[in-house]
Structure 1
């Protein structure tokens, strides 16, 4: 039986996870995630899928993060009427995360359309609405870990705890052969957590597979070995430094899992007297609801951590309404604000960054992966000024990075995880990583763990035939939504933003009005020559 897989997202990038498996008996989609980062990628969210939603028979969801689940409401609205299989933890988180994403779509598009109207531009339609997201939740079907479920006739799936997030899974697929021969066995890693991750167990998965589709988010780096106590002490040092500066400590954090991990450790450190006691404002309605889900699932989390008690600390302040959020911005002195999004590209964190980035007393602590083209990546790379909602903000705050809370295994961890899947008979596909990370992981596992000739690095919309002795890429160039280099390089939107900042800086630091006039005239001549 012919089996193909199309890489509809997370190919040479870390967002938009989506893999379409097609057989003579039907079509199965693993994940249906939102693209994030540079605008060229995000525009894919507004375009058509590279398939007809009505043709999809079932969806298998690895976990609730929006870059894996965020386009499900659009899929359902577009005609998909099959089941969405997911673990109970994933379903409970998605019940908040997807409606929240729809609300964000509506509010941000409304603001954009007000600006477009003033500029004489056309209105933009949201990718989907809150109502679309609520409707999509009716399609979810719960599955248990390590139990087979028939997805369509001739295809069954089994979920394994990936140790990444509450409810996260690696998904094992078996495609039956008509002649009774050994079924084709494929494992999609989802996002794989590091060993000894706070709140989650170590990842599990089967071995003896034909294919493994593996994430490579941190494939080109190796973190220093750390213990839970070392992680807390690293965080404690950052908090003490921020307190000494007498300004706000802003932590852009993913609303689900990362936020709860940080709260648990921050409260623990305060209770132990190792950092100054201060209010911890959780300024994200989604993170507040997600924290409630974590409380409900406390018994399934790390038994050595008193999750329920720590998440109910009096140090923790929930700011759900807009007015409560605005009140935080009137505070001075040391306090902690945890707000989404983790890459600083949406949500309330942008308002706090506008309030504090220019202030040298403030600290911004990046606590997770910052995708190429995001505001978080620009801050991580040392930008002197950034643009937020069209406004230029000088960066004087201390920008710090803590990688101890990553939800992803590093290069060494992924190599260990891949080695444990052996034998891998036909091929290893490396996805969910930028080019350097994928290349780094390929070099790490090539020959030592799996022959280099069996390692594949697909680009967006590639289709591979899997039922042959070795995978064969099919001709899809005429159907690509983006050229490969458009996925991997900063787009013109990013270059334009950087250019505007550079122009403003050059003019602002010119010696006098005459020098400023010279710069402006040169720019005008360059524009005229280019025309």
Structure 2
């Protein structure tokens, strides 16, 4: 009897981050991606838990691209005993050499700060998810693979990469599994880039599959088409509107790709006189190192020459040390700061926001996806106050959002990408999306695919892959690592932060101490009634 492969969805299922699919075929176990969970604290806590599989029994990892939500748990995988190959494109391997080290530095520094607070409060200390040493060891396991070149990963399994158009080095994964009398063909989309991506050529892949595992980040969104000219005109308007003699344009941005795209367009606008020349500070050591990698791979990029000119512009400054970053606070006159992280969850952007959010002469320009529960999503949704590193900050800055730099195809483009992969004989699995995005893409796909061909797996769900269709199997993790209803949503931590801010506003607006006492007594009474 022929052995049927099994696929398990251990990340980016019902949520956007933590991409991780496990393919089992007989004794062979292959991971496609091993990403860090981001978003709400409930989801981020998954990073600290044990993997739902034994890392020592994984035979190979295939990495679609370098973004941390796809690669960020590789050092933990290594720390727990994995010592096999990590297959990736050359550019992905180069980017991961700096991105994983940066991620480890963030893990260690944030845990160090937390432990100092815990010791002051008499609480237990914690350990980082992984260390710089773990990241360094993980980098030694990378095996570079050219686009279109077949590689074997185990008995009966081979794969090759296709350009995904999302990020320097990003790829979709074509996998063939010799399952008895027939060969099953699987395609993992990775993250698919949109049309008119500034630095990336359009995504490519063959047609004719048994199974397609497709990202859904913007599955419910239809953007207005924006070519180079339209995109730059939109950015020009934002820069001109943000310009203030004593102000700043603060751009939270992913350090890799998004920063280089913005730098290219800002350089072009200043070079042509479309906006006044102003200092552009790239406040991210990772972005600095990534930009050098982009420079080395410029021939692989569209508009690579324009990026190199922007990097070398006299208006552009890269900060490396903490002292250089702190010195930004003393800049006089209008300036632009691009700082990581793109969802405002870590890195130097949090200091920039603490320094500028309360000032009405500042503009914060969001240029990427903001996952549920992140500081970036709270700002996007119009929060009047936020908490950053334990401090309450009132939001007076202009909050603006641009979706023209997204690294992801929108719903229409994703549906067209899937349509071009037809025929698809068995199923399409929708991953890497929140509820509305998953449903939006499902509806789009069902206009040309049978409804029972489109599946939305839950976190840690598993499916047996037959030649005629997938069957969900009951080998589930008990209890579930996270309630599927809560995946991709805000959680009680977010509700608690909002309650604290609302209570502080209520107390500040009370007429006198007596009125404040009434507010506190009402709250205590409500808590006592809840306990009863």
Q: Same fold (TM over 0.5)?
A: yes
The CA distance in 2 between the partners of 1:329 and 1:13, in whole Å, is 36
- 2:45 aligns with 43
- 1:193 aligns with 193
Establish whether residue 462 from structure 1 lines up as the match of residue 461 from structure 2. Answer: yes
Q: Sort the Cα spacing of 1:304 and 1:526 in 2 relative to 1 into closer, same or farther, 3 A.
A: closer
SS in 1 for 2:482: coil
The CA distance in 1 between the partners of 2:333 and 2:498, in whole Å, is 32
Whether the 8 Å contact between 1:172 and 1:187 is mirrored in structure 2 is: yes
Q: What is the number of residues matched between the two proteins?
A: 528
Matches within 5 A, 1:202-221: 202-221=202-221
The CA distance in 2 between the partners of 1:246 and 1:303, in whole Å, is 33
Whether the 8 Å contact between 1:25 and 1:154 is mirrored in structure 2 is: no
Matches within 5 A, 1:25-424: 25-178=27-180, 181-244=181-244, 246-303=246-303, 305-424=305-424
Q: Sort the Cα spacing of 1:65 and 1:273 in 2 relative to 1 into closer, same or farther, 3 A.
A: same
Q: TM-score, normalised by structure 2?
A: 0.98
Whether the 8 Å contact between 1:162 and 1:204 is mirrored in structure 2 is: yes
- 2:21 aligns with 19
Q: Sort the Cα spacing of 1:402 and 1:245 in 2 relative to 1 into closer, same or farther, 3 A.
A: farther
The CA distance in 1 between the partners of 2:256 and 2:108, in whole Å, is 21
- 2:485 aligns with 485
The CA distance in 1 between the partners of 2:509 and 2:365, in whole Å, is 29
* Bigger shift: residues 131-140 or 520-529: 520-529
SS in 2 for 1:187: strand
| 1:59-111: CA deviation from partner (whole Å, max 9, x where unpaired) | 00000000000000000110111100000000000000001100111000000
Whether the 8 Å contact between 1:248 and 1:332 is mirrored in structure 2 is: no
SS in 1 for 2:338: strand
* Bigger shift: residues 508-517 or 161-170: 508-517
The CA distance in 2 between the partners of 1:65 and 1:303, in whole Å, is 21
- 1:522 aligns with 522
Aligned-residue offset at 1:328 = 0.2
| 1:186-240: CA deviation from partner (whole Å, max 9, x where unpaired) | 0000000001200100000111000000000000010001111110010010000
The CA distance in 2 between the partners of 1:486 and 1:369, in whole Å, is 19
Whether the 8 Å contact between 1:243 and 1:276 is mirrored in structure 2 is: no
Aligned-residue offset at 1:477 = 5.3
SS in 2 for 1:425: strand
The CA distance in 2 between the partners of 1:290 and 1:255, in whole Å, is 7
SS in 2 for 1:184: strand
Whether the 8 Å contact between 1:245 and 1:362 is mirrored in structure 2 is: no
Whether the 8 Å contact between 2:465 and 2:471 is mirrored in structure 1 is: yes
The CA distance in 2 between the partners of 1:425 and 1:153, in whole Å, is 24
SS in 2 for 1:172: strand
The CA distance in 2 between the partners of 1:245 and 1:209, in whole Å, is 57
The CA distance in 1 between the partners of 2:411 and 2:198, in whole Å, is 19
Aligned-residue offset at 1:303 = 4.7
Aligned-residue offset at 1:515 = 1.1
SS in 2 for 1:176: strand
Aligned-residue offset at 1:512 = 2.0
Aligned-residue offset at 1:509 = 1.1
Tell me how large the CA RMSD over aligned residues is: 1.1
The CA distance in 2 between the partners of 1:245 and 1:18, in whole Å, is 47
Whether the 8 Å contact between 1:185 and 1:209 is mirrored in structure 2 is: yes
* Bigger shift: residues 466-475 or 115-124: 466-475
The CA distance in 1 between the partners of 2:359 and 2:153, in whole Å, is 54
The CA distance in 1 between the partners of 2:477 and 2:62, in whole Å, is 27
After superposing on structure 2, the runs of 4+ consecutive aligned residues of structure 1 that deviate more than 3 Å are none
Whether the 8 Å contact between 1:31 and 1:61 is mirrored in structure 2 is: yes
Aligned-residue offset at 1:521 = 1.0
SS in 2 for 1:488: coil
Aligned-residue offset at 1:331 = 2.2
- 1:499 aligns with 499
Aligned-residue offset at 1:530 = 2.4
SS in 1 for 2:331: coil
Unaligned runs of 5+ in 2: none
- 1:8 aligns with 10
Whether the 8 Å contact between 2:12 and 2:433 is mirrored in structure 1 is: yes
Aligned-residue offset at 1:444 = 1.0
Whether the 8 Å contact between 2:187 and 2:213 is mirrored in structure 1 is: yes
- 2:433 aligns with 433
Aligned-residue offset at 1:478 = 2.2
| 1:25-69: CA deviation from partner (whole Å, max 9, x where unpaired) | 400000000000100000000000000000100000000000000
Aligned-residue offset at 1:516 = 1.1
Q: Sort the Cα spacing of 1:245 and 1:208 in 2 relative to 1 into closer, same or farther, 3 A.
A: farther
* Bigger shift: residues 425-434 or 508-517: 508-517
SS in 2 for 1:150: strand
Q: TM-score, normalised by structure 1?
A: 0.98
| 1:155-201: CA deviation from partner (whole Å, max 9, x where unpaired) | 000100000000000001000133xx331000000000001200100
